[in-house]
Structure 1
Amino acid sequence: MTTSTPLRTTLIGVALAATALLPLQGTAFAGQNDRVDSAATPVSSVAGIEDATARSLAVALTDPAWGRQVRDAALAADSVDLRALTRTSTTVAGARLAPQVAAADRGVRAAKGLGGRVGSLLRVGLADASMKASLKGGVAPLVAAAPSDDDASTFTAYDSAGTAHELSLAAAPDRPVYLVDVDGAKAVTEGLKVVNEALEAKGLQVPVPAARLNVAAPAAAEGIDTTLINSVRLSDDKEPWIKGDAEIFTLVTGFGKDGTPRVDTVEMPYLNNDDTTYYPNQILVNWSNYKYEMADAVMMEDDGDTNYQALAKAIVTALLTITDQGVYIPLADALLDAIPTSWWTDDPDYVDSWYTLAKATTGTRNGAAANGWMNVSPYHVAAL
């Protein structure tokens, strides 16, 4: 479900020659919030960690008491915190599994470039709500990890003997399947904090004081001018059915008041499904942060192995090479070029981009990749 090769080639272009970036998968840059985690747990691919955890969980289901606890949890909620489930379990298998799940969770945090403040990320639940009936009926469940390849036609699930079964991604199987996955919403929220901190540290997101710009500060009573998303729709959210809701975020780029490239992150937690129109009334651009009355927007989706520290490093490395020429130039291509081609397989998937959104832009704008559209309008936020 990734972008086609010709389109991807056009959008990515040639990676910036000056960048020496480590790949997202299996890499994390040490940061103050994850020093303990990375020291205790080797960094590994999120997909690999999920797969190993799924197999161990499947084998543990031979304990009838633990099997009932997992079944009851899966029937009561869409997904539950796997670390909390094992840590509080009074069953033999659950207690034995707890240290492995805790280590796996630390590995996931490290692989995604997140610190301990994010808490536990691994979750487990039925892969599809349609499986509840067969689970209630006593059909023995399989356990799978979310597939790491968007182009895959099958995924691997394990039975209680640890035997692997290849199942089709075309439709949900009749047999119940527990899915081990990452809490995407929590990961995006914390991940964008990591990106924002890196951008702020390099001056790519900090508002410049008016005194440094030699211009008068606007009166507080004037408020701010923004661009509002009235409605938005995607044709393909880059997420197969087994992974559930998409985790969409947008990077807004332009030149800050001091002429330095600027990136603002925008979470879109409501944008869960493709072929669905959403009406968020969400602010996309705060024009008080930008020198020119134009900006670009690049929409992406977190696909499991996204390492936010590496993503931030890529953005910073690319944009700090660009200088203000006195006229607006699009920055979306520079941002996309900074992401190596290898990152486009189950990492932050490119969804679509909108070039030269003007302060006065109103109405429906189709994305450059023809994968979505947004209806936007100017919106003035008055000061209190």
Structure 2
Amino acid sequence: MKKIILIAVAVLLFTNCEKKEGLPELSAENIPSNDQIASSFVKVLNEETNQQNIFSQLQNSDLPISLTDMFSRLIPSEKQMRFLFSASISKKADNREVYEFWLHHNTDTFNPEEVLVAYAPDNAEQLKSITAFDLQGNKIELDAKTPPEVPVIVIEKNGFHALQLRVEDMNDKLQKAGLQSKTAVTLKNFKSYQKTNLETTKLDKISLKDDQEPWIKGGAEIYAITSGIRDTNNAPELKIIPMYYLDDEDETYYPNQIMLFWDEYQYQAANIQLFEQDSNYNYQELISIIIDGVTQITGTLSGQPWVNALGNIAGAIIDALPEQWYTDDDDYIDSFYTIEKNKSYSNHYGASKNAKVDLSPFTVLGN
């Protein structure tokens, strides 16, 4: 992983304190195991000046805290430096992993002496138990399926902050592959659209039956792939949209999130397909697979009735997905086909009946 930001912060901290002997070199040979990272953080947590600071950060944040933000608020020590350096390196150099922390807390009261520290393993779905450490450094096995009653500080690298970077990368790849127009509305260029009215479809309400996440993985990292037809040749138009708020199954969310920008499409219908970020599958490979799948049918779309082409684009995305997504690790959630412009949808189920949404037309007025 080329985490330039994390390494830069490590270097900044290092240059602002007295140089110490024995700090690890930044090399793949020094990559710690999951248990070593959790155990190292216990040592950081046990430093008296850090404990209350860390607890306060975690209790007062609705979102996971990145390693960078966590350590920027602490006084550097050798133990912290060692942890920061070791956790800034990854074997997966192209997988945009970002270490982050969040607090699992199912109890009404918070007793710091009961706090455990655990690392969220990539294969948590297949495990029967999760290894955690108490503040004395003792190993404790937790049930992987049943959330513990004691507070647990969870360390994760394929969560909220990683998804932010991966969505940006995936959209860049779609543009380079010609499957997303240069004029597509994105966070990068949204300001350029502020003087014009934008016709959109907005997600008003959503709930999931099953988000596939064990407790150790925290909230699900859900994203959508929207697809439509760009021009009269039925060229595909795809976009990745993150849905950071969509954490828990059997909960109803009211995001008011824009999902479809109709200026991007030739016709007044598009698809919305929901997926969960899969830490067991390299997202760079995944987006390449989807691009290949859609590109393979692009030449056959011209001349088809547009509604057929629209369905074929969504079908190509599904067909391209790894087979295991439909077996043990079901990271495909649902599809909403042929969502029409200027039409409202209430309690509308996806094709797999795993997601239910309310959608409505919404005009973004220019300033």
Partner of 2:188: none
CA distance in 1, matches of 2:149, 2:323: 36
Consecutive unaligned residues of structure 2, counting only runs of 5 or more, are 9-25, 185-193
Number of equivalent positions: 323
Partner of 1:373: 356
Q: TM-score, normalised by structure 2?
A: 0.73
Higher relative contact order (CA 8 A, sep 6+): 1
Within-5 A mapping of 1:69-84: 69-70=50-51, 72-78=53-59, 79-82=64-67
Task: State yes or no: 1:173 paired with 2:148.
Answer: yes
Partner of 2:304: 326
- Partner-residue secondary structure (3-state), 1:320: helix
Contact 1:261–1:322 (CA under 8 A) maintained in structure 2 = no
Task: State yes or no: 1:264 paired with 2:245.
Answer: no
- Partner-residue secondary structure (3-state), 1:318: helix
Partner of 2:81: 95
CA distance in 2, matches of 1:369, 1:269: 22
CA distance in 2, matches of 1:371, 1:189: 24
Judged with a 3 Å threshold, the aligned counterparts in structure 2 of structure 1 residues 70 and 268 are, in CA distance, closer, same or farther, namely same
Consecutive unaligned residues of structure 1, counting only runs of 5 or more, are 1-27, 44-48, 115-119, 210-219
Moved over 6 A (4+): 160-163, 344-348
Q: TM-score, normalised by structure 1?
A: 0.70
CA distance in 1, matches of 2:89, 2:109: 30
Per-residue deviation at 1:143? 2.9
Deviates more, 1:277-286 or 1:143-152: 143-152
Could you list the per-position Cα deviations for residues 36-85 of structure 1 after superposition, in whole angstroms to 9, with x for gaps in the alignment? 9xxx7669xxxxx7x82443431563578537625640343245433565
Deviates more, 1:173-182 or 1:139-148: 139-148
Of 263, 274, 299, 2:274 maps to 299
Contact 1:302–1:348 (CA under 8 A) maintained in structure 2 = no
Of 323, 335, 359, 2:341 maps to 359
Judged with a 3 Å threshold, the aligned counterparts in structure 2 of structure 1 residues 300 and 226 are, in CA distance, closer, same or farther, namely same
CA distance in 2, matches of 1:56, 1:221: 49
Q: Which amino acid in 2 is paired with 1:73?
A: I
- Partner-residue secondary structure (3-state), 1:322: helix
CA distance in 2, matches of 1:345, 1:268: 24
Q: Which amino acid in 1 is paired with 2:267?
A: Y
Deviates more, 1:319-328 or 1:69-78: 69-78
Q: Which amino acid in 2 is paired with 1:370?
A: K
Contact 1:229–1:375 (CA under 8 A) maintained in structure 2 = yes
Per-residue deviation at 1:122? 0.6
Of 232, 243, 268, 2:217 maps to 243
Q: Between the two proteins, what is the percent identity of the paired residues?
A: 26
Of 93, 107, 125, 1:130 maps to 107
Contact 1:154–1:167 (CA under 8 A) maintained in structure 2 = yes
Per-residue deviation at 1:222? 8.1
- Partner-residue secondary structure (3-state), 1:272: coil
CA distance in 1, matches of 2:289, 2:208: 26
CA distance in 2, matches of 1:64, 1:296: 47
Contact 2:276–2:333 (CA under 8 A) maintained in structure 1 = yes
Contact 1:89–1:95 (CA under 8 A) maintained in structure 2 = no
Partner of 2:33: 52
Task: State yes or no: 1:286 paired with 2:231.
Answer: no
CA distance in 2, matches of 1:175, 1:223: 51
